[in-house]
Chains A and B, each alone.
Chain A
Amino acid sequence: MTKQTLARLLEQQPYAADFFKQNKLDISGFEQLTPAEYLAHFSPEELEDRALEPERLLADLALYLEQMRDFLGLDEQQPLRTLTILPGRDKAGQAEDFERLTLHTSEIVSIVGPTGSGKSRLLADIEWAAQGDTPTGRRILINDAPPDPQWRYSSRHKLVAQLSQNMNFVMDLTVQGFLQLHAESRLHPDPAAVTREIMTAANRLAGEAFALDTPVTSLSGGQSRALMIADTAILSASPIVLIDEIENAGIDRKRALELLVAQDKIVLMATHDPLLALMANRRLVINNGGICQVLTTSPAEKAKLGQLQQLDAVIAAARQQLRRGQRLS
């Protein structure tokens, strides 16, 4: 396959272009050569100057192309339907008191427990698809079977996407450029269409609308959060989304969760905000490194959620009045 000319390679596997670009290899004018012939045109001095090793590059190219083909095929091959956690031990060595915990796509589960109680360890167990080989001894099953090692080792196909309050945009790009870049790195067939889709979704979540030409670093907190959630829901390859709190300002959190669920994600949400925690149907209580209870949200709690949402609406309305310079009625 790397015996083909560069022109043919790029025609059949256009993502090869990024390999050359990231490795600073300018192939323009050499399209009629094979990769090996192209690399052979460098003199020994040029190779040393540019720190290039032709043999390694050729092997890397073959591996890269193989990985990209796998990556493109994955979405269709094995969609995740269930995530199962088999119990392990807490920090005192006590067995966790549940038999097996199966989460389904489009399900929201909240995680509660004091700081340092083991929320990150639980998350890391899921991220790493633990097989009894982490300090908790937990095991993770995907679709009721031990997971394919690709979940652990492939850099492009991670089980878990994360959203937290501390996350910021650091790239010097407009919203449009940012989404375009992400779509290209995901090998999305239609970056323009998915960019529009994410923009529409993000603006439905954000209190104040923003435009495609806004630099990502000048978005407000609520707008950043909205864009991150819409982008993760629609464009991230990870089937599980972990949320570490979503603050209540400038973003419609109910719609945000609905969007993630509509994209068939499993949502795990660490939160102590009752409005969020009760939106989940189940919640895991973590203590001393172990899952000590799995609670199903009761009808009484759902009724309580209704009351809390009304209270929240009263506060939100008052905030809005203040912002407009009005007196509180």
Chain B
Amino acid sequence: MNLTIVSGPPSSGKTAVILKTIAALKSRGVKVGVVKFDCLYTDDDKAYAEAGVPVQKGLSGALCPDHFFASNIEEIVRWGKQSELDLLITESAGLCNRCSPYLKQVKGVCVIDNLSGINTPRKIGPLLKSADLVVITKGDIVSQAEREVFAARVSSVNPRALILPVNGLTGQGAYELSTLLYNPDLQVETVQGMQLRFPMPAALCSYCLGETRIGQAFQLGNVKKMDLGEPEA
């Protein structure tokens, strides 16, 4: 089984792109399944099920979705193998732009969209910087110049990634993406022992542990204060 980890800001077009890519793979007889990770809510599982794609969803609820991902990926891979998939794709919405779910030995794809603004590549951290492939969507509604500037900026923060424009609505570019995602010679038996590409931030302050009260007296552990400088007279 092949494994691909797809991530990207909310509503960037991940599901649209994955569905079009799966359609291209299906026509070549490749069996694909998807696991969607989100925080509070998602309807994506319905969209995949409607397209006849085996799907699982995991809602992290009170946990950071990327931490939740790391704790569950091993079981998910086992599910994929038991379901006899040729390719398992995980979709997670990047939320704070600091964590990223990519594993060192597994293809990582970041989906971002042209509408998010040309400063977005600078704002997204490891989620974009450590992806192997960057898919840029929604090129159909912005100008050629904006597409060029956006792609150039993505390439400045991640020069080693392959950058592919894909239209999530028409599927233009999805066939090409599918050829980069599935390699029959590549087999992932288990992800046990694999490593995250980028360590998740050191957390565990009082608020991670359920504290709700505001004030110095209630703050323990890894607490960080802003430097506000001297007040102006």
Residues on A lying within 8 angstroms of B by beta carbon are 18-19, 21-24, 48, 51, 53, 56, 59-60, 63-64, 67, 120, 123-124, 127-128, 133-135, 153, 155-156, 161-164, 166-171, 178, 181-182, 185-186, 224, 228, 231-232, 235-237
Contact = CB atoms under 8 A, between A and B. Distances in A.
Nearest to B134: A155
Interface stretch (B30-38, B82-90, B143-151, B225-233): B143-151
Contact of B145 (A18, A24, A235): A235
Contacts of A124: 172-173, 175-176
A155 B144 contact: no
Nearest to A216: B143
Contact of A185 (B141, B143, B149, B159): B149
16 contacts: A51-B125, A56-B130, A59-B160, A60-B158, A64-B155, A67-B155, A67-B159, A163-B144, A168-B141, A169-B146, A170-B114, A182-B148, A185-B149, A186-B148, A231-B143, A236-B148
A155 B145 contact: no
A48 B155 CA distance: 23
Given A48-B202, A51-B126, A120-B170, A156 B155 contact: yes
Given A133-B179, A169-B146, A235-B145, A19 B156 contact: yes
| Residue in B118, B159, B162, B201 whose Cβ sees the most chain A Cβ within 10 Å | B159
A22 B142 contact: no
Interface in B177-208: 179, 198-199, 201-202
B122 A22 contact: yes
B27 interface: yes
Given A162-B144, A178-B145, A123 B172 contact: yes
Contact of A64 (B125, B126, B156, B173): B156
B98 interface: yes
B160 A182 contact: no
A224 B141 CA distance: 13
A158 B156 CA distance: 16
Contact of B144 (A120, A123, A156, A236): A236
Contacts of B201: 48, 51
Nearest to A164: B140
B157 interface: yes
Given A23-B157, A178-B145, A182-B145, A128 B176 contact: yes
A64 to B, nearest CB: 4
A231 to B, nearest CB: 5
B18 to A, nearest CB: 18
Nearest to A232: B144
B145 A228 contact: yes
A118 to B, nearest CB: 12
A215 B57 CA distance: 44
Interface in B91-109: 98
Interface residues of B, number: 45
B77 interface: no
Contact of A169 (B143, B151, B162, B198): B143
Listed from nearest, the 7 A-B pairs whose CB atoms lie closest are A155-B163, A22-B156, A64-B159, A51-B125, A182-B145, A63-B159, A155-B155
Contacts of B140: 164, 166-167
B111 to A, nearest CB: 15
A168 B142 contact: yes
Contacts of A128: 173, 176
A224 B142 CA distance: 11
A170 B201 CA distance: 34
A22 B153 contact: yes
A60 B159 contact: yes
B115 interface: yes
B148 A23 contact: no
B98 A51 contact: yes
A167 B126 contact: no
Contacts of A51: 98, 125-126, 129, 198, 201
Contacts of B155: 64, 67, 155-156
B157 A170 contact: no
B17 to A, nearest CB: 14
B9 interface: no
Nearest to A66: B159
A133 B142 CA distance: 29
A329 B222 CA distance: 81
Given A24-B122, A51-B125, A170 B146 contact: yes
Contacts of B173: 124, 127-128
Given A22-B156, A51-B125, A171 B27 contact: no
B142 A236 contact: no
Contact of B121 (A22, A127, A161): A22
Contacts of A167: 140-144
A181 B143 CA distance: 13
Contacts of A166: 140-141
| Residue in A18, A127, A155, A178 whose Cβ sees the most chain B Cβ within 10 Å | A155
